[in-house]
Structure 1
Amino acid sequence: MEIRGKVHEIGAVQQVTDTFKKRDLIIQYAENPQFVEYIRFEATQDRTSLFDNLNVGDEVEVSFNLRGRPWTNKDGVTSYFNSLVAWRVAKVTTTPVDAAGQAASGPQTFDAPPTVDISADDGKDDDLPF
């Protein structure tokens, strides 16, 4: 899964146990600008360094896995927890804009694939039922 947003907060590396460490990244996600969401991602072990080159305010695309697990307390009550585990974070580059508000590199163009005339009769009978 992937999501784009703005870096809101970068957590410090937390050494949870002698052999386990984690780090949080909070992304400001505004699919609808009226209702901004703050999404928490985590990185563990050697992936905690994924967040090293980020700054608050950077536009990023986060690739992540959705994880879920149950936990049963001493009274036998089970709760369920979800986590968003980041495995790649890429800064989103923006195209520079000139004084006229146009993209400095000009518009991007793509060659369309050639069109195929499917109504052309090439001499073969088509026995499709529709």
Structure 2
Amino acid sequence: MEVTGRVKMVEQTKEVGSSGFRKRDIVVTTDEQYPQHISVQFVQDKCDLLDAYKVGDNVKVDINLRGREWTNPQGETVYFNTIQGWRIGKVQDGASAPQGQAPPMPAAAAFEPAATFKEEDHDDLPF
């Protein structure tokens, strides 16, 4: 899966717990009719990938969805979801447009007109 858009925020790397676990978040704003601000978390050695990115960069982030189950002290089971990034790359302006849009068509003047076309001479039907 991937998220494409413009970098809104890049956090500093944080160490969590005593085991040396590292995490770093980036927020990417999608380029669509209703833009979404997607927080993507990079962990451990992947945190360093974000050093090359700044606010305003157009990026494509490859992600995995992660889910965890936790039982609190009261015995209730709680579920957490995380969007975890594993690769990021810059894209050129305009390349972050929503997929499914066709590229612009060239002007009609770019095509050479048929000089001697007669409808009765043209038959490309397979039957």
The two structures have a TM-score, normalised by structure 2, of 0.70
Say which structure is richer in helix.
2
1:3 aligned to 2:28? no
Describe how 1:1-130 pairs up with structure 2 within 5 A: 1-17=1-17, 18-32=19-33, 35-94=34-93
Deviates more, 1:3-12 or 1:14-23: 14-23
Runs of 4+, deviation exceeding 6 Å: none
Gaps of 5+ in 1: 96-106, 108-116, 121-130
Gaps of 5+ in 2: 95-105, 107-123
SS in 2 for 1:40: strand
Q: Tell me the distance in 2 between the aligned counterparts of 1:67 and 1:94.
A: 30
Post-superposition offset of 1:31? 2.4
Post-superposition offset of 1:3? 1.5
- Percent of residue pairs identical: 40
Matched AA of 1:63 = D
For residues 9-39 of structure 1, give each alpha carbon's deviation from its aligned partner in whole angstroms, at most 9, with x where no partner exists. Answer: 000100113421100001112322xx32111
For residues 70-100 of structure 1, give each alpha carbon's deviation from its aligned partner in whole angstroms, at most 9, with x where no partner exists. Answer: 11101111111110110100000248xxxxx
Q: Tell me the distance in 1 between the aligned counterparts of 2:84 and 2:29.
A: 16
Specify the alignment match of 1:123 in structure 2: none
Matched AA of 1:8 = K
Q: Tell me the distance in 2 between the aligned counterparts of 1:5 and 1:61.
A: 7
Q: Tell me the distance in 2 between the aligned counterparts of 1:83 and 1:14.
A: 16
Instruction: Indicate the RMSD between aligned Cα atoms, in angstroms.
Output: 1.9
Post-superposition offset of 1:40? 0.6
Q: What is the total number of aligned residue pairs between the two structures? A: 97
Post-superposition offset of 1:51? 0.6
Post-superposition offset of 1:66? 0.5
The two structures have a TM-score, normalised by structure 1, of 0.68
